[in-house]
Amino acid sequence: MSDEKYVENFYQGIYVTETILGNPNGDFVDNSPRNFDGNVFTTDKCIKYNIRKYIHETIEDLEKKENIVFFFPRLVEDAKEEENKFQTRDDVFNKLFKDSENKFEDLKCNSPDVRMFGGTFSFKDEVSKQIYGPIQLSYGVDINDAQIKRLQIGAPFATESGKQKTNGSEAVVDDAIITYDITVNPKNHPDLLLESDLDLFKKSIWFGTNARKSTSKKTDSKLLIMIKFIEDNTVLNIGELKELIEVSNIKKHKLGEEEIKLDCTKLLKKLEKYNDFIDSIEFIYDKDDLTLCNGKSELSFESSEKDKSLISKLIHKEPNELINDN
């Protein structure tokens, strides 16, 4: 890590996903989409799991102890996956770092998810420690008036021989567009988060979410906004931003007549007040899949070299450009 550069700038961001006829985040009671009085929401943990699973499946190397995803379920030795027998946190820690002279420092050096999100660490024969991670995600909220639909399903087997097969039900959303707030504050734990970790975070949140595909888990990444503030001694947080973008064509999109149109007018109006403190604003999305608007006009990423307005700081990046970022 000594050769790599640490993140020094403060960031805020917005992450947007879409789930059509799926379950963006089930609760523990009956796996229904999480909701308050029908208003769909999700926890940050479902997105963090996507990120960790992506790192685990793509770059983790346990033998070399590189890019270890520490907060990830590990089967006990010789257990089969279908047996669901998992190691304790102590077991994982000691197995990976038992030969280390400084186990906790080696954990930080070799675990990108710890450097991103932190964690509480309490192990046998070790002093309890806590890292408040530089990267924090909020709960997600639906901005597309999603409705929860309950579907009747049939099980393949009967409860008793000769009887009719068992009936059941599952719950999905018709079309949920979920927005999350992101904050990146390197002062939470100085000299921890690497610039390569931030690149990995962006790639993993996008493609890790897309990779979780099953009958119910069908969530797709739609937009990632990263606002980079000018580096100084100020920790600048301008408040939650996730509900400052709006779906401007809910009816037509739900009918399948148009791709999503997101109106960024309120977001840009707020960011304009902090223009002097903003270095750049990165918009990651597929232009063939999503339209961003500023009022009635499509959001423009073109400006003159002399332009010092907020628009001049907007950068568009296609998701495939994330692949080679780290």
Q: What is the pLDDT of residues 18-37, one digit of tens each?
A: 999 999 998 887 889 999 98
Q: What is the pLDDT of residues 53-98, one digit of tens each?
A: 999 999 999 888 899 999 998 888 888 877 788 888 888 888 888 7
**Looking at residue 209, what is its pLDDT?**
96
**Looking at residue 233, what is its pLDDT?**
65
257, amino acid identity? E
Contacts by residues 104-108 (CB-CB < 8 Å, ≥ 24 positions apart): 104/129, 106/65, 107/70, 108/192
Range of lowest pLDDT (47-56, 225-234, 302-311, 315-324): 302-311
Identify which of 240, 226, 208, 222 has the alpha carbon closest to the alpha carbon of residue 177. 222
How far apart, in Å, do the first and last CA atoms of the chain sit?
14
Q: Which secondary structure element, helix H or strand E, spans residue 226, and what is its range?
A: strand 219-229
**What global pTM score does this model have?**
0.91
How does residue 164 score in pLDDT terms, banded at 50, 70 and 90? low
By CB neighbour count within 10 A (0-12 exposed, 13-18 middle, 19+ buried), where does 81 fall?
A: exposed
Rounded CA separation 75/228 (Å): 39
**Looking at residue 81, what is its pLDDT?**
78
**Looking at residue 1, what is its pLDDT?**
53
Rounded CA separation 167/74 (Å): 34
**Looking at residue 305, what is its pLDDT?**
64
Higher-confidence position of 85 and 286: 286
How does residue 235 score in pLDDT terms, banded at 50, 70 and 90? confident
Whether 318 shows a pLDDT value over 60: the answer reads yes
